[in-house]
Structure 1
């Protein structure tokens, strides 16, 4: 076919429909006439790279599966520019090298780069959907994406997928398009909320969760979900109990609670805890929700301990010694009793969880008591491992908060030469030992949560590591800030976070002083953990 002498510089949709584009920037007006948003423009000079016969021979010899899949594509997909194909097939080779069946997503009106980005994101960062409907990371996403490709959820998913692809390939155009789609998604979300139409749909809540995931993958704000917490809280309250009637709604509810817990911990704010009061009510019947309810209760106690510790100096300045001593004794007794009761509830959860797992989840490994995983005698499936890490994190935060509170009391009693401080100091060694055991348990579960080790303890050649990494990201970051963790525990934890940052592409996993820590391979990490 004779080359006409110039490349089309119209928008993507006008080029696909083979009509004249007015080329208005940033979006053309002809798309608006047809009632569809303009998808924007590609690179202005997409020149095809020259092809040589030797390159065909080497590519066929290197990847015969890829050649067969490429030849089976329809003719309409073959007419794309060379640069786009190069980036798309580079991502496709990355996905096909996993030697596993990809999760099929709806075919939407996108260019090859966008298709490859979506395929990569869903394959790596979306958990596999299993028959028992165990809540995990966005297993429902492939089933609720629609074919038009222009709704709120579709634009949000594309934005996150493009950022994930950018972290792997380093193509600046992917990053620019990701931020552009992120802005579009924010505007569409605001319009949806203001109109009130379909605001309680699963797609809206999934889109808000993906906006939080965008923060994790891009590294903005180190994964702090504060920008979207109020929206999550309002959506959960508006959706009510009806959202728990389906497995999809329950999964989205659990993922939203995790984001609210992260915000509550980072900001010492209980404003958005337990939306609608459903968490505590459901905890009476469901062990998974009981664990979430214990986490909320733990956060309330932590904030009370922090406020009490900060108020010690004010009490010294405003109250007489006798009144101060009586007030401190009352606060000590009440807070410590509530904290130890919650710790006992965590132990009770460990005892009751195995029975619930056997009766409810077929084919999953059951949870075991604290400290048993670190001995190397037990293995987990990825979803159960993530659950155990989150529950151990709640226990760890409460232990650290109690330790900080008791140490502050002991230091003040020592300055006043009081006798009560010696009684409080007796708790410290046992609590510090419990902290280290809890951290060991969490780190031992990480290879299973990242799907690097199967339930029999054997390495998995093609791990679905991104889905679990997004769930356990904040627990690992909290361990790195724990002053009572051993140097070996910190080394292992920083190595996990470094791999999440460099290999998986979750930029909020970046560890301060990362260049000072040496990367460890899987064998070395497992030997240190066990």
Structure 2
């Protein structure tokens, strides 16, 4: 379409030898410049346009001489004015996906998703799960119930397409299918508004584990496969730890294979430690270990975590800084800077687990010899206080150091919810630090649009962080 504008009736300055003006002003061009009053720029919204497509086509056809050449004939095809060739208004799906990729993905586990989504076909399971998750995310951002209904309908479609991909041998173990299952879990964690764990989320976790078992060693051959394995294995370990059950059969072997393929990758070492904790806590819960033996093994695992943190590579370590003047957002005037959100989560995972280990040591210390009982309890309390303090100090990364694109990232805010809840639930931590964790929980609950956080924050230390349901947000 070709459009040309016609100025409105607004008055414009006279221009010498160009516009004949009947105003009573000096004819001298210099005087005209002095005495003529300039009305300013014209308003482009007042301009009128007409469709000159047909006239342009006719002029082009006249300029073309058919006698010169028949091979280079230029053909112009006009379309009906009622039919639009394109629209400048994006669809709601496009708006949702763009918003999801720009405001949630930074700071989340899914930094590989944009490139993967760009290669997916529109009718694939991955494309549908991305649209469903993006739509529910947008509905929460805009507080629009109609978009939530659209998201749920898209979720049903995505679920059917994912099941279809799982049923086909060529796609059952692909990266895109595994990511689709993980996104279905993320969808469930976003819509979950209660404490406790969603049954649907647990089902998707089991499905993701079945896929990594099916994938075998091939998943360790590329960076995305390695990252996906770490994401799923960590989720399964934490879920087993929460349920106080031993790891599902096959996971420990896969973890060892992963370490053989990439022995210097810190997340794999952390997963191995978490798997050992999960099995030990399950044995303690089942009373298969004597009290003194259990305390010894718990202390040994705690020492392994300390050594793991001590020898982390430089690109995974954090730096401590001190404020010149007090800030109510920063605990104890000391903050942390991390190389990225993955390093932040790795450190807080260590700290939460060490709190759990030392709480178990304190609880079982009554069964150890009297001579070491007081020392075991004192050491457990000191360790818990240290880990709780470091978790609270890590909040400064979100409040101070994050670059502008991540400031509003719900994923980054959500990654701090469960660690702070662990501090809230640590009865052996000081009252002051638990009070700080509750305040920051309430703040981040608002930022991350998680209504259940208010209920969690109102609970006392007797409410176990392993059962509050925030682990779904933490690992999804």
* Cα distance in 1 for residues equivalent to 2:296 and 2:252: 27
Q: 2:115: which partner in 1?
A: 143
Spell out the pairing of 1:266-345 with structure 2 (5 A cutoff). 266-272=242-248, 275=251, 277-283=253-259, 285-286=263-264, 287-308=266-287, 331-345=290-304
How much does 1:172 deviate?
A: 1.0
**Which structure 2 residues correspond to residues 126-275 of structure 1 after superposition, within 5 A?**
126-127=105-106, 137-145=109-117, 146=119, 148-219=121-192, 222=195, 224=198, 225-272=201-248, 275=251
Q: Any unmatched runs of 5+ in structure 2? A: 1-44, 47-83, 321-330, 461-476
2:358 is the alignment partner of 1:405: no
Structure-2 residue corresponding to 1:380: 338
Deviations 1:185-225 (A, max 9, x none): 22222222233331111111111111221122112564554
Partner of 2:381: 432
**What residue is the counterpart of 2:96 in the other structure?**
117
CA contact (8 A) 1:243 1:249 kept: yes
Matches within 5 A, 1:2-13: none
Aligned-partner SS, 2:237: helix
Task: Give the TM-score normalised by the residue count of structure 2.
Answer: 0.68
Over 3 Å counting, the alpha-carbon distance change for 1:386 and 1:197 in structure 2 is: same
Q: CA deviation at 1:162?
A: 1.4
Contact 2:100 2:137 in 1 (8 A): yes
CA distance in 2, matches of 1:147, 1:426: 58
TM-score by length of 1: 0.61
Aligned-partner Cα distance in 2 for 1:377–1:474: 19
CA 1:185–1:298 in structure 2 vs 1: closer, same or farther (change >3 Å)? same
Take 2:104 and 2:427, find their aligned partners in 1: how far apart are those partners? 31
Tell me if the contact between 1:114 and 1:162 (Cα under 8 Å) persists in the aligned partners.
yes
What is the alpha-carbon distance in structure 1 between the residues aligned to residue 377 and residue 270 of structure 2? 26
- Shift in CA distance, 181/491, structure 1 to aligned 2, threshold 3 Å: farther
Distance 2:249 2:384 in 1: 25
Aligned to 2:33: none
Mapped contact 2:381–2:429 kept (Cα < 8 A): no
Superposed CA deviations along residues 54-90 of structure 1, whole A, max 9, x for unmatched, are: xx99xxxxxxxxxxxxxxxx97224x6xxxxxxxxxx
Q: Which has the higher contact order (CA 8 A, sep 6+)?
A: 2
Alignment partners' CA distance in 1, 2:256 and 2:381: 29
C-alpha distance in 2 between matches for 1:242 and 1:397: 34
Q: Quote the Cα distance in structure 1 between the aligned partners of 2:364 and 2:450.
A: 34
Q: Is the 8 A contact 1:155 1:182 kept in 2?
A: yes
Deviations 1:89-144 (A, max 9, x none): xxxxxxxxxxxxxxxxxxxxxx622211111211122137xxxxxxx611111111
User: Residue 391 of structure 1 aligns with which residue?
Assistant: 350
* CA displacement, residues 226-261 of structure 1 (integer Å, 9 cap, x when unaligned): 121221111111112221221211221111122212
Higher share of residues assigned helix: 1
Which residue, 475, 494, 500 being the options, matches 2:438? 494
Where does residue 479 of structure 1 map in the other structure? 423
SS in 1 for 2:390: helix
Q: What residue is the counterpart of 1:366 in the other structure?
A: 317
Structure 2 partner of 1:348: 307
1:447 aligns with 2:406: no
What is residue 409 of structure 2 aligned with on the other side?
A: 465
After the TM superposition, which residues 40-51 of structure 1 pair with which residues of structure 2 at under 5 Å, given as runs?
none
Structure of larger gyration radius? 2
Per the TM alignment, residue 173 of structure 1 is displaced from its structure 2 partner at its CA by: 1.0
Conservation of the 8 A alpha-carbon contact between 1:162 and 1:177: yes
Q: Are 1:126 and 1:137, in contact at CA under 8 Å, matched by a contact in 2? A: yes
CA drift of 1:291 comes to 1.5
* Cα offset, 1:422, TM superposition: 6.1
Q: In angstroms, what is the RMSD of aligned CA positions?
A: 3.2
Question: What's the secondary structure of 1:167's corresponding residue?
Answer: helix
User: Tell me, which stretches of 5 or more residues in structure 1 are unaligned?
Assistant: 1-55, 58-73, 81-110, 129-135, 312-329, 358-363, 411-419, 517-530
**Alignment: residue pair count:** 362
Q: Secondary structure at the match of 1:512?
A: helix
